[in-house]
Structure 1
């Protein structure tokens, strides 16, 4: 299994002692697996959850007329969250490199998309590049943080994972289409079909507590995209940014954005896969490994 941080090891040891007497079969065993799955997901989302909490708090309680503009406050808060994640060893330096790459990829897209009027930010603040406040890149970094953390927390393995060169070409085409569709044909549906074709055979194996589960990788893409879409609704409600149709009054983000987030997931997965090479599942007749992470925090 991939190495965890020192803090995670301490939490894992305590959780291991707590869950050591949990039943191995029956309804309580299934409930335990479900609860641990939720705890794992929550732990993987800690960066994004903290950032969303700050966005909501700023919407509800940040005072008007203060010397520090709200967008600048959000940028400072995002930087503090990232520093704390590393200082408290919630992220490794290797993971941080991937997260910084997500940040840069997202910021470049933000600069282009805001210039094209796809969405907009409030004009206040000085910590910005053109019309894009610097905290925007941290929202992409939150997705990156989730991806690298969930990769090791669930000890992910992949059956029939496609060649990484093929996935890299696909990810590059998806990223390019986010820009070129403003001038040329929008190929998102062609790219969506390509995702199904390339990743359709791949099955993700993941361990929760005692059991290992399987899920088609394309299904996991869709589920994560759905949760990002829900987070996007919270962020736009908080006023972090707005789509043109929301300027005159907030309403939920359209479901068509799910396709965009689904395609963005491919870019995310490919970036992580270049750092953590996808591993195949262990043979079924292999000796069973000792499970020392029942809480799923490694």
Structure 2
């Protein structure tokens, strides 16, 4: 008997909330940084955010909410995000106007955790919803497309360049689909739609983050304004590197687990079977 739609949606919502734990923690830290008297304590806000993000990561790994490999994914995206932030800040794309001890190249080190939140979400959602992907191009093609997608952010991307990258991704992933499990029932959606939806949620989160002073776009210097809708497009593209890295990690983990199981099966074979096999070979 099919499960009621409301129950499926409820279980799906719970799994998504759990997958967003790290992202919610970052938003909570931003709220705290605006309410606590950090200036009176002599603690720069950006440094408070960095220490808070590191503490959250330590807690999640300690209680085994995250695996060490998932923490490694977060670190990778932190580095990718930081290099992109440093480049964009140097070009005047946006700014971090407050002083901090943990600023490098005018970018506070906590900033990379914004990108790491996307990687954390994908990794958590993959495990919790038992994601499976089909119809994707060969790994070398994916790697080339993801590299092109990431590197194009370092250019002054015109609409034509971004449209070209987007069309290449659409052609490569047009047949790709992702299967996910909610409360024991499998569901399926086009992978490209997943990219668009994740990009939309990150865009909404970016509006909240800028409203809380995480960073400032030039048009927000005189007062907060909604983030330009084109950022939805950009975040949709930025989702693809996160997906590829997590996909490669999970594929490797599955193959490693299968190899361990096969080794255990071989080790647990009865002595009589092994001995008989040896006599038969002779």
Normalised to the residue count of structure 1, the TM-score between the two structures is 0.81
**Structure 2 gaps, min length 5:** 255-282
Structure number with larger C-alpha Rg: 2
Distance 2:216 2:153 in 1: 18
Deviates more, 1:59-68 or 1:81-90: 59-68
Counterpart among 203, 208, 213 of residue 177 in structure 2: 203
- Aligned with 2:121: secondary structure? helix
Q: Deviations over 1:239-297 (max 9, x none)?
A: 01011100111011111101110110111111212212299xxxxxxxxxxxxxxxxxx
- Aligned with 1:89: secondary structure? coil
Q: Which structure 2 residues correspond to residues 134-149 of structure 1 after superposition, within 5 A?
A: 134-149=109-124
- What is the CA distance between 1:102 and its match in structure 2? 0.7
Q: Which structure 2 residues correspond to residues 59-98 of structure 1 after superposition, within 5 A?
A: 59-98=34-73
Deviates more, 1:35-44 or 1:163-172: 163-172
Q: Deviations over 1:45-92 (max 9, x none)?
A: 000001111102222344434311111111111111111111111100
Paired position in structure 2 for 1:190: 164
Check the 8 A contact 2:96/2:215 in 1, yes or no: yes
Counterpart among 212, 219, 232 of residue 238 in structure 1: 212
Q: Check if 1:25 corresponds to 2:2.
A: yes
Paired position in structure 2 for 1:167: 142
Deviates more, 1:39-48 or 1:195-204: 195-204
Normalised to the residue count of structure 2, the TM-score between the two structures is 0.85
Paired position in structure 2 for 1:17: none
Distance 1:277 1:190 in 2: 29
Deviates more, 1:267-276 or 1:207-216: 267-276
Q: Check if 1:269 corresponds to 2:243.
A: yes
Distance 1:102 1:220 in 2: 19
Distance 2:41 2:92 in 1: 28
Check the 8 A contact 1:78/1:135 in 2, yes or no: yes
**Structure 1 gaps, min length 5:** 1-23, 280-298
Q: Deviations over 1:120-177 (max 9, x none)?
A: 1123111111210011011111111111111111111122122111111001011111
Paired position in structure 1 for 2:10: 35
Distance 2:98 2:194 in 1: 37
Counterpart among 69, 92, 97 of residue 117 in structure 1: 92
Higher helix share: 2
- Aligned with 2:56: secondary structure? helix
Counterpart among 67, 70, 80 of residue 105 in structure 1: 80
Between 1 and 2, higher relative CO (CA 8 Å, sep ≥ 6) is seen in: 1
